[in-house]
Amino acid sequence: MAGKVEIYTWRTCPFCIRAKNLLKDKGVEFIEYSIDGDEAARNKMAQRANGRRSLPQIFINDVHIGGCDDIHALDTQGKLDKLLASSNSV
């Protein structure tokens, strides 16, 4: 799978852990930005995520996917693997 995956997390966030586990189970390499308590980093994330400040926030090929529920919904709908396999933007 060739898509570029980025995920903003807090180390102890259960939703972050759940989203990362889904990606790991699929054998996906991802860039993790652990922003625990870093308001400047969280503000930068929110700019990229259309104002969303909840964690995690996930991007595939620089396209905002959303959070944990969003990535699991894409997987359930059978759309996640296609996104991950693509090296182009959605």
pLDDT by residue for the chain (90 residues), tens digit each? 468 999 999 999 999 999 999 999 999 999 999 999 999 999 999 999 999 999 999 999 999 999 999 999 999 999 999 999 976 544
- How many domains in the chain? 1
Q: Is residue 13 part of a domain?
A: yes
Answer whether 80's CB lies under 8 Å from 74's CB: yes
Residue 61 is part of a domain; what is its CATH number? 3.40.30.10
Beta strand extents in 20-62 (DSSP E only): 31-34, 57-60
Q: How far apart are alpha carbons 90 and 83 in whole angstroms?
A: 7
pTM assigned to the model: 0.91
SS3 for 59?
strand
For residue 82, CA distances in Å to 1, 11, 14, 62 come to 9, 28, 26, 15
Q: Is residue 90 part of a domain?
A: no
Q: Is residue 57 part of a domain?
A: yes
Domain coverage including residue 18: 5-85
